[in-house]
Amino acid sequence: MKSCYRCGNPWESITKKQPGVKETCPKCNAYLHCCSNCRWYTPGKPNNCMIPNTEHVADREGPNFCDDFEMKEGNLDTSWEEQKNKAKKEFEKLFGNG
């Protein structure tokens, strides 16, 4: 099932395969057609994308017009804030606080 990257709210459409460019999640208002919600989004890869030579996107959580966008499948098992805090703790564990 396709869902919002931030809150996990399910996204379903009978007529469309992908959300519209400026479509937002009804629960948390996050943009759905964004890098953070794309199956190709991979931090650490060039331009944080598995597709080579994609256009640079400055705001990964903002709407974009990427032709390669495919909404990823699957529900989040934790909220966006929990994921962010976990990543921050792992970073501090590796590199310290300063």
% residues pLDDT > 70 (the chain):
89
Instruction: Identify the top-confidence range among 19-23, 46-50, 53-57.
Output: 19-23
Quote the CA–CA distance of 39 and 61 in Å, as a whole number. Answer: 14
Handedness of CA 59, 62, 64, 66 (dihedral sign): positive
Handedness of CA 26, 17, 10, 76 (dihedral sign): negative
By C-alpha distance, which of 77, 56, 78 is closest to 65?
56
Quote the CA–CA distance of 5 and 23 in Å, as a whole number. Answer: 13
Q: Tell me, what amino acid is at 54?
A: T
For the chain, give the mean pLDDT: 86
How many independent structural domains does the chain possess? 1
- Position 13 scores a pLDDT of 86
Boundaries of domain holding 57: 1-98
